[in-house]
Amino acid sequence: MFAQLNAQPKDKILALMGAFKADPRDTKVDLGVGVYKDASGHTPVMRSVKAAERRLVGEQTTKSYVNLAGDPAFGDAMVDLVLNGAVARERVAAAATPGGTGAIRQGLELIKLAAPDATVWVSDPTWPNHESIIKYLHMPMGKYRYFDEATRGVNFDGMLADLKNIKAGDAVLLHGCCHNPTGANLTADQMAQAIEVIKAQGGMPFVDIAYQGFGDGLDADGAATRAIASAFDNVLIAASCSKNFGVYRERTGILMAVAKDEAERDIAQQNLNYLNRQNYSFPPDHGARVVTMILTDPELRADWEAELEEIRIGMLGLRKQLASELRRLSNSDRFDFLAEHRGMFSRLGTSPENVEKLRADYGIYMAGDSRMNIAGLNEDTIPVLAKAIIDAGI
């Protein structure tokens, strides 16, 4: 049996983690996988998460099964966090999933159940695992232009032109905030225009929101998702708690299906439950329970929001410092886009050869498409990276 298996390509982002670990240089800098790191390079457990976990261990009296869709309180808390009343709660079906990836996978499967021939449109570029899962599910995929290599901003004209090619019933994957891998984001006005085009074409948005709170703030980062949810009869939303709660390994995420009305919501909910049952039965509970406790306890929530804000402001500071160091060294404003980007990532916009040069000669690790995890920097490594970028002729 196993002799018939083909070798599988390594996931490029995850392979970087191994390569970085194996590098003996103590000057190495990890700008690879999307995991938040503090100035000392450590990924901390957030204060509120520690406190909620302690409380949970003390209070929990059973580990028995919960529901196929997970704890309803988690659904309520997350719908509130992401949608904040933008659509009536009765219209939203929700199911907990193993992380944001689980929600993406279940969302795609839901599309496949409803409309097996629907094309799923993704931004070019997008998080590589979007494309990988779509291909794995043998779903038709289309790409809309997104990144302008010259300005390192959004190629909005190209995006709108390509969205006009979608067919009624197609799904359009949009990043709710903090675009991964580029860091370039639509303005509110541009999002409103994109919504109009997708609506006119009869498309259905599928929002991936994995970095709420890492861009312009918890509330501001939800604005695009809310605008989308309130503009359509049907919307899918995959939300991750991995980054903004720092619970990466607990696999905590949720898929929401905004339906036309309550009756349609019930059917959507049955399908979400069914898909969970087919794929893994009950979703992981620990992270979801911790998140629920934080979101519903005023003291824990205030502390979580404060720490998340510290993280966001810290990353913004790193962006500004890097852009200003590059401005000084290059005597130009061609790297100012780094301060404009939002979220954990920025695409530097250089060739795979230069990315490899930065790794080999300077021990700087970034994804092959020149995506940098800004949180991997600190005050000491910013000048090192800036100098390497200039020395490498980027």
Instruction: List, by residue number, the catalytic residues.
Output: 127, 208, 210, 243
Q: How far is the CB of 375 from ligand LMR (least distance, A)?
A: 11
Query: What are the beta bridge partners of residue 254?
Result: 96, 239
268: CB partners within 8 A, 6+ apart: 93, 110, 257, 259
Q: How far is the CB of 16 from ligand LMR (least distance, A)?
A: 9
Q: Identify the helix (H) or strand (E) that includes residue 238.
A: strand 235-240
Phi (first) and psi of residue 319, to 5 degrees: -60, -50
8 A C-beta contact, residue 100 and residue 231: no
8 A C-beta contact, residue 167 and residue 200: no
Q: How far is the CB of 131 from ligand LMR (least distance, A)?
A: 12
Q: How far is the CB of 54 from ligand LMR (least distance, A)?
A: 27
For 56, counting Cβ atoms within 10 Å of its Cβ (0-12 exposed, 13-18 middle, 19+ buried), the class is: middle
Helix 381-391, helix 298-330: angle, nearest 10: 40
8 A C-beta contact, residue 288 and residue 96: yes
8 A C-beta contact, residue 341 and residue 184: yes
Q: Which is nearer to ligand LMR, 178 or 326 (CB)?
A: 178
β-bridge pairing 235-240 and 29-30? unpaired
Measured in residues, the chain has a length of 394
Q: Which is nearer to ligand LMR, 69 or 122 (CB)?
A: 122
Q: Which is nearer to ligand LMR, 271 or 370 (CB)?
A: 370
Q: Which is nearer to ligand LMR, 16 or 300 (CB)?
A: 16
Q: Which is nearer to ligand LMR, 283 or 343 (CB)?
A: 343
Residue closest to ligand LMR when measured from CB atoms: 34
Q: How far is the CB of 240 from ligand LMR (least distance, A)?
A: 8
Q: How far is the CB of 363 from ligand LMR (least distance, A)?
A: 19
| Helix segments in the chain, DSSP class H | 12-22, 47-59, 72-83, 99-114, 128-136, 156-163, 188-201, 223-231, 262-279, 286-296, 298-330, 337-340, 352-362, 381-391
Give residues in contact with ligand LMR (CB under 6 A): 13, 33-34, 127, 129, 180
CA 232 from chain center: how many Å?
22
Q: Which is nearer to ligand LMR, 172 or 210 (CB)?
A: 210
> What's the rounded Cα separation, in Å, for the pair 282 and 123?
31
Q: Which is nearer to ligand LMR, 118 or 355 (CB)?
A: 355
155: CB partners within 8 A, 6+ apart: 145, 146, 147, 148
Q: How far is the CB of 338 from ligand LMR (least distance, A)?
A: 18
